Amino acid sequence: MTAELVKTLLPHLPRHAEEEGDFFCVPRDVLISHLVQAAYPKELAENTVAMVENLLLTLATLNTEMLQKGEWCFVSFPAQLMATSVLTALSDPDSRLFAANFWNTRDISSDKKNQQRDVLNQFETARLEHHTSAQAVPIRYCYVAWSIIKLDGKILFYQREDTQKRHDKRAGDYGLIGGRANQNDIPLVEKKGVVKALQSPHSEVVQHALPITLQRELREETGLLFDEHYTFQLWRRLAPYQQVQGSAPNHALTEYYLDIFQIDLTLAGYLHLQHKVQTDERLVWFTIEDMMQGETVDGKIPYIKALYDDFSGDSTLLATELKALPESFTNKYHFQPKKYGLTLPLDCNEPILAGVLGKEKPLDLKLTARQLQLLLALAAHLRGFSFVELDENITLHPFGWLEVPKGAVLQGELQALANLVNHTDLVIENHQDQIFRLSINPDVVFFDAKLFSLIAQPAELASVKSKILISIRRVYFATAMGGIKEKLEEFKISLESAHNLKSLSEENFSTENDTAVKIEDAYKKGLHRDPKFLALGLRGLIRRDSGVIKFNIRYISE
């Protein structure tokens, strides 16, 4: 019936000359009368003409000024061709604008999907851009759960699988961890209701299911498991926004509903994520500055347009909010004393010194040579020292954690050491009997002074410069898990200070000696506060012992 109606209407359409611009119009009423004369009911004729008129208006082929007068008139000969092409296809049962299987999506190649996307993109972009009231209605709805995983001031992104399938490069190639809700996330049994909910605007059913979407996406993209590895809370529900977008071939004017969740990692989750990021190149950390600039130095583009728009395009406000978010994992050492020092010897026959700075005392703890070597390894990693040779079965994690294989000899040794020392100022944390660390503020852990030396070149000491270059070296030392790399740091100090320290290294002075006290004060206000010096793990260049001021390490000027 429809094909015959349109076929009847075709000969009576207006015409536009191919050259010279001549044309003629046809009144709408005349078109209706032609259908009535062909024995179609008047109501059907009126509805058919109205439907075709609406189609031709959508194609922008009719002159709108003439249409207001009730006249159909094509704006040009190409417009007439376009209208005739579409109507002829409608009137011919054998006509197809696309191949019979063009829109199939099952088991098709990427090229076929891209063809579908390109067609949809062209249609939907045109529909959006040429809508006369700028209120084009979306035909696709997308409910998304994103996560904020923030560590060391950086936020974790995941490389989008459809990077090469999007028309808009501003869509970026990295997104926040998370993704779109699907049928399996929604706790409804009846499939029709699930699909309808996913394809409806403002669906409370789908929005309530976004926490399930979040858990699924985190599991798929990072391997993180809810409860065991993390908990979460809603951080921000974005205002719905519209965009012609979607991975091929699901491409259309889409309305997006986004919930962003803040992730709190457990220790197990933190350690799992550290390993995952190291082994999966799709996971990338972005600084907040990178996010605001829209690109990293190596060309990675984050997709945060929705978040950016939700802050009305105010990047400063967005950056402030992101910086204010707490870290997803907060490291806490069990023992965080102030004005405290723990100094580890190299020889098990010498005591471990611990206590208030300047008043340290030997710990009531007797370790074997092997146990001390284990403790030195834990302390060195806690301090961030570099291993030259690391046992291949050991995995180093941040914050002093190290992991040993299940059933390894080291596992039992570390368990025993933890049980031995945990009644003292030393605390060794044990996670699942495989991951261990010395749990004390790293800044108060120091190493045997025998490892260190101050080096001043004779030429520098003989110069007349106000400041000269000196070096402090920490030599290589062995631990139960591998050797610790030698470390050399350079410092600029006054020539006078260099000579004063040399004098102190050659002779001990009483604490009542004003000159020695002044040398000590100058050192404590200068070199001792330098972060590079503190990172070496040296308790101090100068120490007081039974009323005597001593230089604590070797002074080399050869």
What are the pLDDT digits (tens) for 449-505?
A: 999 999 999 999 999 899 999 999 999 999 999 999 999 999 999 999 999 999 999
Q: Which of 11-20, 161-170, 190-199, 256-265 has the lowest mean pLDDT?
A: 161-170
Same domain, 357 and 318: no
Same domain, 175 and 286: yes
Same domain, 257 and 244: yes
Residue 131 domain flag: no
Q: Give residue-wise pLDDT tens across range 213-225.
A: 999 999 999 999 9
Same domain, 287 and 164: yes
Q: Give the total number of structural domains in the chain.
A: 4
Spatial separation of the C-alpha atoms in residues 480 and 311, rounded to whole Å: 53
Residue 133 domain flag: no
Same domain, 368 and 428: yes
List the one residue out of 443, 405, 409 whose CA is nearest residue 538: 443
Same domain, 431 and 475: no
Same domain, 275 and 207: yes
Instruction: Provide the domain limits for residue 458.
Output: 450-556
Residue 333 domain flag: no
Same domain, 385 and 470: no
Domain C-terminal end among 445, 462, 484: 445
Same domain, 455 and 424: no
Same domain, 500 and 435: no
CATH assignment at residue 259: 3.90.79.10
Residue 123 domain flag: no
Domain C-terminal end among 445, 466, 500: 445
Triad 489, 494, 500: Cα angle to 5°: 95
What was the pLDDT predicted at 1?
A: 63
Q: What is the pTM of this model?
A: 0.80
Check whether 293 has a pLDDT greater than 50. Answer: yes
Residue 61 domain flag: yes
Same domain, 159 and 266: yes
Domain C-terminal end among 296, 324, 352: 324
| Beta carbons of 53 and 66 less than 8 angstroms apart | no
What was the pLDDT predicted at 170?
A: 53
Residue 91: both structure tokens together: 């009137």
Same domain, 170 and 298: yes
Q: Give SS3 for 308.
A: helix
Triad 222, 215, 404: Cα angle to 5°: 40
- Write down the residue that tokens 């000269």 correspond to: 468
Q: Give SS3 for 464.
A: coil
- Determine how many CB atoms are found less than 10 A away from the CB of residue 543: 16
